[in-house]
Chains A and B, each alone.
Chain A
């Protein structure tokens, strides 16, 4: 059974700092990995999708990497801003069509 773990569970940083969020998964037979952002009480917003054949994806200040063989992905946020404060979730998508989500990392960026 696929298990997805996100470390740390919570992170607080001062504005402007670069940071890394981690996601690990137990079964490397994934189709892709997707990073989401969730604001309190809201739905999920897709940030980046990395296909299993890719190593990384970039969007603005965000960079996501994937090392499928070791079962790891990282989300790098450059020059963090208070507006980045949210919970970040990673999800692995299997060929069966199902996704497994991690528990998320709650990020607080202090002005």
Chain B
């Protein structure tokens, strides 16, 4: 199994500011995913991040608002830009492993964001 850590675990931010969330995996993985879970709702995929290429965003999510970096096979960052209270959510990093294409997902502990 993959062990995933996220930083920060939680944060309270002012509207208009930006927050960068880090995701670290204990093994090399091809595909990393960023999800958002708004209060009382299920998970929504923001984007898929593969190392060495631009992230692929889902409908309703854009790079200017959620820029993603994937500098290597064990690390990724998600930035939530120009935040508003509607961005208050849990942000979850996920990886597929241990075999690419098997569809077994592992999740980090999440970053709980509150925007005032």
The reply to whether B31 and A97 form a contact with Cβ atoms under 8 Å apart is: yes
The reply to whether A104 and B42 form a contact with Cβ atoms under 8 Å apart is: yes
Contacts of A44 in B (CB 8 A): 43, 92, 94, 105, 107
The reply to whether B112 and A41 form a contact with Cβ atoms under 8 Å apart is: yes
The reply to whether B110 and A31 form a contact with Cβ atoms under 8 Å apart is: no
Contacts of A97 in B (CB 8 A): 31, 48, 96, 101, 103
A102-B43 Cα distance, complex, nearest whole Å? 8
Contact with A along B82-98 (1 / 0, CB 8 A): 00000000101010100
Contacts of A89 in B (CB 8 A): 42-43
The reply to whether A101 and B90 form a contact with Cβ atoms under 8 Å apart is: no
The reply to whether B104 and A101 form a contact with Cβ atoms under 8 Å apart is: no
Contacts of A34 in B (CB 8 A): 103-105
Q: What secondary structure prevails in chain A residues at the interface with B?
A: strand
* Shortest beta-carbon distance from A100 to chain B in Å: 8
CB contact under 8 A between A98 and B112, given known A44-B92, A93-B105: no
Q: Does B53 contact A (CB under 8 A)?
A: no
Contact with A along B32-70 (1 / 0, CB 8 A): 010000000111010010000000000000000000000
Q: Does A64 contact B (CB under 8 A)?
A: no
A34-B110 Cα distance, complex, nearest whole Å? 19
Q: Does A77 contact B (CB under 8 A)?
A: no
CB-based nearest B residue for A31:
B103
CB-based nearest B residue for A52:
B103
Contacts of A83 in B (CB 8 A): none
List chain B positions with a Cβ less than 8 A from chain A.
Answer: 1, 4, 6, 31, 33, 41-43, 45, 48, 90, 92, 94, 96, 101-110, 112
List chain A positions with a Cβ less than 8 A from chain B.
Answer: 31-32, 34, 36, 41-46, 49, 89, 91, 93, 97-99, 101-104
9 contacts between A and B (CB under 8 A): A34-B105, A42-B109, A42-B110, A43-B4, A44-B92, A49-B103, A93-B103, A101-B43, A102-B42
